[in-house]
Amino acid sequence: MLHTDAPGNTRQNGRWSSIVLIVKMLLTVAWRNLLRNRRRSVIVFISIVVGITAVMFNDGLSIGMISQMLENSIGSHVSHIQIHAKGFNDNRVIQNNMATPSEVENVLRDTPGIAHWSPRVVSFGLLSSALNSSGGVIVGVDPEREQDVTTIRRSIVEGSYLTGAPREVVIARRLADKLQVGLGDKVVGMASALSGDVGSDLFRVTGIFETVSSEFDKAYMFTSIDNARSMLELEDRVLEYAVIVRDINEVEDIAASLRSKLGDEYEVLTYIDLLPILVSQVDMYQSMMYVVYLIIALAMIFGIINTMLMSVFERIQEFGVLMAIGMRVRRIFLMVLLEAGMLGVLGTAVGLLLGSGLLLLFSHIGIDFSIFSEGLTSFGVGAVIYPRLTPDTILNVLIIIPLTTVLGAVYPAVRAMRLQPVAAIRYV
């Protein structure tokens, strides 16, 4: 049996065919118009490419710097989650300790998503050598567990990491310089003990470490947790558990699970709670980048308006002829928008490829800012910054730049629509 299309379907297919032909015609004419004045088109194209590359590189470099600040703080000491006795974070005295650490450790073992954890004893005290003294932070750790939680072992620049032997310490470079001690030298640590008396002990420097944060390196000294407990009369008590999760995106869910299991006697804080300034800087930067994109977009809009207006004025007679032979003004409007849109799309494609390539390259080799190392280390960044290419950067470029070029062509396209055929043909 022979089937034929219904009349309605035939008309609809014919309408779509006409639309496709019109779009192809307009695209062809728009492309030829761009090639008509190659120099002007190339200048606009290059400005779009350079603008996109520059804004992507600036975006990636800033994201990389802020992310490194956050990651370095997490890696040097903070970790993803910290667990304390209730009130310890507000009043960091050793009296706010965990008397039954085994209870916390059982919960940590049974909670999915946790990669590593380490018990700590943390105390502020006075560190003295034969030549000088300084306030500092004495951190007692389990050497085996702590090396999976922080980067201290990988940051050793002289000597060796903790082995758990009695009275050994590893000390930060800047603190060692202030105390004027080196490998094998003795350091006396004094801090308030659990009884309220001053606890003290004599330690020997077995290792010196150096992180990317000069502020951290001015204060921290690590020893084994047994040494710290003995000095502070803590027996088997713990002041803090540092936790590293497998997926940082799940840190809030894991923290909520720990809170529900541990109850009100403990406080469970994520790095977001412990580093509110750094986290807010990340959020603030994301808002600031929209301002940067807005400035770039405004600059591009004025450039596109100028370029397309020149193109319209040069072709007034041509538009008049097209109107006179029956071309609708909305098609002329669309043709001008297509010219700008094609420039925007091509410029965005090339700029995106160039910007992404540069960011991916430097994300592996880094950019050395050693000349600014003092300032960068004070912020905990490090002398080498690794830019990052994020999906948000790509999405912003793909949406904002082509849209900007089309918006910039609206006014010239409206001017072309309002031309009168007779006056346009006679225009000189």
| Residue pLDDT, tens place only, 393-406 | 888 888 888 888 88
Q: What is the CB neighbour count within 10 angstroms for residue 159? A: 16
User: pLDDT digits over 266-325, tens only?
Assistant: 999 999 898 888 777 777 777 777 787 788 778 778 878 887 787 777 777 777 777 787
In this prediction, residue 112 carries a pLDDT of: 93
Distance CA 415, CA 428 (A): 17
Local structure of 81: helix, strand or coil: strand
* Least trusted range by pLDDT, from 155-164, 332-341, 356-365: 332-341
- For residue 107, give the nearest of 274, 243, 269 by alpha carbon: 243
Cα(422)–Cα(248) distance, rounded to whole angstroms? 68
Q: Are strands 220-224 and 156-159 parallel, antiparallel or unpaired?
A: unpaired
Least confidently predicted of 94-98, 154-158, 317-321, 336-340: 317-321
Placement of tokens 């490998």 in the chain: 183
Rounded to two decimals, the pTM is 0.76
Of 231-235, 368-372, 374-378, 408-412, where does mean pLDDT reach its minimum?
374-378
Tell me: pLDDT of 140 over 90: yes
Burial category of 143 from C-beta neighbours within 10 Å (exposed 0-12, middle 13-18, buried 19 and up): buried
How many CB atoms lie under 10 A from the CB of residue 394?
A: 16
Model confidence band, residue 2 (pLDDT cutoffs 50, 70, 90) = very low
* Element at 57 (helix H, strand E): helix 38-73
In the chain the first and final C-alpha atoms are separated, in Å, by 65
Predicted confidence at residue 22, as pLDDT, reads 61
